[in-house]
Structure 1
Amino acid sequence: MVPDIASPKSDGSDLALRWSGRVSLTRRILAVNIFALLMLAGGFFYLDSYRSRILDSRVEQAMREARLVAEALSAATPDRRDLLMLRLARDTGARLRLYAPDGTIIADTRAMGDRSFLLRDPDKEGWRKRVARFLDAGIDTVVGAVRAPLYRERRGGMTWPDVRTATAGRASGTVWRAPDRTPVITAAAPLVNRAGSVMTTTNARDVTQTVRVERLWLGIVLLIVTLVSILLSLFLARTIVRPLRRLARAAVRVRLGRAREVVVPRLPDRGDEIGMLARALSDMSQALRARIDATEAFAADVTHELKNPLASLRSAVDVFGTVDDPALRERLLTIVRDDVHRLDRLISDISDASRLDAQLSRAKFEPLDLAALLAALVRARIDRGVERDVRLRLDITDDRALTVFGDGARLERVFANLVDNAISFSPDGGTVALSALNSDAALDVRIEDEGPGVPEEAREEIFRRFHSVRPDVEAFGRHSGLGLAIARTIVEAHGGSIHVESREDRLGGARFVVRLPLNDRS
């Protein structure tokens, strides 16, 4: 069947891109992969939330411990209070301070010699810790983390917000920031009967360490994914963008009129859409090259065919002015009329042949009853009269549908050319037989004559343009040699084929067979 042809009105609006259509494909591939990396980098925001939740739970835990310490100290006798505070400080790893209701400090485990709570001097730590703190500061700035107030020692209990809250009768906890950027958690709880308050101070370095470890693994994953993404982007750019650019450059060279010297890569090893595109473009360029060659050959043939009658016409006109014999002048006028008639026929056929491809590309194909078309053709030809008493016979005995999909006027011209050709080669009183046979998914139309036939070595040449072998009885110049070439063009445009063969009965004559696909459209 005839392949579907894209409508000229299809502008690809369903495939159009707005702003992204102005960006190269390589940059779009990188942008998509970078967007995925940014989504993964959002895990750093999650780490900030994760750290906040840990600190909130640690504050709650410190407040519970402060209440327990306050109850324990309230129950202890004064002589056992200091020992109990030291033991609790060592067990919890916190610094304990006991304040009177007015904020005066009563006892401090550091003054008692306990060093459970110590702040590290960042200037005395190694480069790795400095790098870690630099990363902490940078990531906190990026994610917009809330910076805790800097922890500094204060004089008097009332300078601590947690102690003031505990003096009022409620437990309280606060997160501070140590000089090395680790969190410091303070919590205070009132003693029984508000006889004072106790404050615990803990340096939660494990929270920072946990976040740093998670951040390290996230960074490693992000680095690996980044490398893989870059490699994939380069791979996609290499396997998609580069061949597309090569194909685009080849297409531009074809557009610039260099089709003969352009080699469009076919990419035979690729079975994807780009490989399909490459092979389609290569086939298209080869078809265009063949079309250009055919056009050039056609132009050369036209020039050659026009020169013959023009040369004859020029000679007759040149001689006409020097001849006085009326009989000779009449013969020259006859030659002039024949040459003019030949030129008119030749120009008309050339015009039809040159416009045939464009007309067929715009033709609207419809279901056709080929039996009715052949019957009407034979009847009309008989009504016009057949020269030399040649008989026309139509043999259709197949009861199955003989329906094809095509342009009725064009197919009628094909069979009319073949019938005229058969009549011209048939002897006086001969028979030209037309028959149609439904064979599988194709329909064979046969036109047989009783003429001299076509030699096997010339059966392909007769379909070439301007190739004309005419019977001796026919007047010169009645045919341009384009009839069979036009017939083959029309038949192939309908997805069919045409060829000539010998008759099966081994009698004289030729058989032209036109094979057309049956209509399979509902």
Structure 2
Amino acid sequence: MTPFGRDDDDQLDLRWSGRISLTPRILAVNIFALALLAGGFFYLDSYRSRIVDSRVAQSVSEARLVAEALRSVAPGRRDALMLRLGGDTGARLRLYDESGMLLADTRALGLRNVVLRDPDKQDWGQGAARFLDAVIDTVVGAPRAPLYRERADGLAWPDVRAAQETGAIPATVWRAPDRTPVITAAAVVPGQGTVLTTSNATEITQTVRVERFRLSMVLLIVSLVSILLSLFLARTIVRPLRRLARAAVRVRLGRAREVVVPRLPSRRDELGMLARALSDMSQALRARIDATEAFAADVTHEMKNPLASMRSAIEGLSMVQDPALQERLLAILRDDVHRMDRLITDISEASRLDAQLSRAKFEPVDIGAMIAGLLDQRAQRGIERGIRMKFDHTPGDSLVVMGEGARLERVFENLIDNAVSFSPDGGLITIGAVQGSDRVTIRVEDEGPGVPEEAREQVFSRFQSLRPESEEFGKHSGLGLAIARTIVEGHQGDISVESREDRLRGARFVVRLPLADQR
């Protein structure tokens, strides 16, 4: 059989993460979301690759067009055409013969449109940008292009050599010293040689850096906001939880009297509900501890009286020789033994009531039939001092409540016993039962001296009893009404002392219990 609460424990078990404090866990969850956002840098690498591929295709097309143009022009107009085409395409054009000798170069002709920047002569901002490029390329695993270096022999260019060997238009992406891409492409010019185009695609690097800067700013702002919100969330959750945990530990260590559990009245969330529940629980625990201590003190006080009487009687028996006096001392001992037995029985029942009621299985109980049965039993045994009893109720009323019959019977036995002990000789005790809208009201009235208004709450305290002067001392333990209140409250009802509506002399005890169909 699965223990109670085991399923809830399994559902709330966090395995390894339950060993980590809430603050780093909240931060970790939000930082994980930021890490997903940082994945945008991988997208930038893909974006850059697409731009580079597009520029490579563009360089191949430009090399083909330049080769077609040079083939159709006379040798005397070749240099002028190369200058114009280099200016239009923004590329450096070089023409090599089949042996790799340089025949024409737009830079030598005066067009310096492709100039590689020396990183040593750039400011610190460009250096930081290059460092970030290197870091991000390493993180995303971007392939590293070969370093661009000028070559004196045309055949030293792989594009020129491949174009002469295959007749195709190859292209290569190089890395300039400042990490900008340099794209070369070569095409064969029939009868003249091989043309090599070189372009420094600095705009690609600038575009990627601008997008990366924007993404970095967004990531930085979102990170700051996320961390601040995480810290705020951790502060609003973790701090009150720690306060509540410390208060609970102090209560567990036995310092319930000096611990004030924060109620967090301004919070209407689950933490506020938890704080108020813990505060109420600690107050109930404190009240229970106080009641237990007071009950223990009262028990000690009440048991000392018969013990002292028994000690005196025993000591007197050893010294008294008169048989009549010895008989009187023995009678005192018997009375004290009966009193001790009654005290122990009532104390045992009073101390177990709360626990027993919490485990009791309630069933429908007809209060009317129960009271009628109690009165019939008393009538059969005979009621002392000629006291009369009357049960006043409407036969058609439903007086069924949910409860434990034996316990409820004890309530009304105690109330009837109390009324009998205070009633004068030949007095009338009236038990009335009325069905209300949602409750059953039972009144027990006698014609005794009544209960003073200032003592109407006191009579329900343990070992507090206002007994009639004619009653023999020690006949009652002073726990009857206290037991009755505990049982009634355990059945979600209430019991009190009220003034009689007919203004006659006597006491009225009123018990109210919920109807069975209302529970």
Query: What TM-score results when the alignment is normalised by the length of structure 2?
Result: 0.93
Partner of 2:289: 292
Is the aligned partner of 1:118 residue 2:100?
A: no
Name the counterpart of 1:169: 167
The 10-residue stretch of structure 1 (422-431 or 507-516) with the greater mean CA deviation from structure 2? 422-431
Residue of structure 2 in register with 1:474 after alignment: 471
Larger mean Cα displacement after TM superposition, 402-411 or 332-341:
402-411
CA contact (8 A) 1:501 1:510 kept: yes
Note the alpha carbon deviations across 1:59-87, whole angstroms, 9 max, x for none. 12222222222222232232222212111
1:511 to 2:504 alignment: no
Distance 1:345 1:8, change over 3 A: farther
CA distance in 1 between counterparts of 2:6 and 2:300 reads: 37
Distance (Å, rounded) in 2 between the aligned partners of 1:29 and 1:357: 43
Q: Which runs of 5+ in 1 are unaligned?
A: 1-5
Partner in structure 2 of residue 142 of structure 1: 139
Cα 1:83–1:377, aligned 2, differ >3 Å: closer, same or farther? farther
C-alpha contact (below 8 Å) 1:464/1:484 kept by paired residues? yes
CA distance 1:86–1:378, shift in 2 (3 Å): farther
1:359 paired residue among 356, 360, 374: 356
Q: Which residue of 1 aligns with 2:180?
A: 182
Cα distance 1:12–1:369, how it changes in 2: closer, same or farther (>3 A)? farther
Say if 1:196 and 1:375 are closer, same or farther in 2 by CA, change over 3 A: farther
Maintained 8 Å contact 2:180/2:205 = yes
Q: TM-score, normalised by structure 1?
A: 0.92
Matching of residue 311 in structure 1 with residue 308 in structure 2: yes
**Structure-1 separation of matches of 2:50 and 2:517:** 71
User: RMSD across aligned C-alpha pairs, in angstroms?
Assistant: 2.4
Q: CA deviation at 1:277?
A: 1.7
SS in 2 for 1:281: helix
Does the CA contact (< 8 Å) of 1:253 and 1:262 recur in 2?
yes
1:133 Cα offset (Å): 0.9
Given the alignment, which residue of 448, 452, 456 partners 1:451?
448
Query: Which whole-Å CA distance do the structure 2 matches of 1:273 and 1:304 have between them?
Result: 46
1:403 to 1:198, Cα distance in 2 relative to 1, 3 A:
farther
Q: Given that residues 398 and 437 in structure 1 are in contact (C-alpha distance below 8 angstroms), is that contact kept between their aligned partners in structure 2?
A: no
Q: Which residue is 1:219 aligned to? A: 216
Alignment correspondent of 1:228 = 225
Contact 2:438–2:518 under 8 Å retained in 1:
no
Change (3 A) 1:415 1:190: farther
Superposed displacement of residue 375, structure 1: 4.0
Q: Please say if residues 101 and 194 of structure 1, whose CA atoms lie closer than 8 Å, have aligned partners that are also in contact.
A: no
Which residue in the other structure is 2:129 paired with?
132
| 1:394-420 superposed Cα distances (whole Å, 9 cap, x missing partner) | 333274644433333322222222122
Map Cα deviations across residues 373-393 of structure 1 (whole Å, 9 max, x no partner). 444444444444433343443
Q: Between the two proteins, what is the percent identity of the paired residues?
A: 71
CA–CA distance in structure 2, aligned partners of residues 402 and 188 of structure 1: 108
Contact 1:391-1:430 within 8 A present in 2 as well: yes
Tell whether 2:252 aligns with 1:259. Answer: no
Match of 2:323 in 1: 326
Tell me the distance in 1 between the aligned counterparts of 2:30 and 2:285: 40
The residue type paired with residue 214 of structure 1 is: E
| Other-structure match for 1:3 | none
* Paired residue secondary structure (2:319): coil
| Number of equivalent positions | 516
Per the alignment, do residues 448 and 123 of structure 1 end up closer, same or farther by CA in structure 2, a change over 3 Å counting? same
Q: CA deviation at 1:335?
A: 0.5
Give 2:19's match in structure 1, choosing from 22, 31, 50: 22
Aligned partners of 2:446, 2:123: CA distance in 1, in Å? 107
- Matches for 1:38-437 after TM superposition, within 5 Å: 38-101=35-98, 103-167=100-164, 168-191=166-189, 196-397=193-394, 399=396, 401-437=398-434
Distance in 2, matches of 1:92 and 1:389, equals 130
Matching residue's letter, 1:418: L
User: In 1, are the aligned partners of 2:262 and 2:279 still within 8 Å (CA)?
Assistant: yes
Deviation at 1:367, TM superposition (A): 4.2
Segment drifting more, 443-452 vs 307-316: 443-452
Q: Distance in 1 between matches of 2:98 and 2:231?
A: 71
| Gap change, CA 1:366 and 1:206, over 3 Å in 2 | farther
Distance across 1 between alignment mates of 2:397 and 2:112: 108
Gaps of 5+ in 2: none
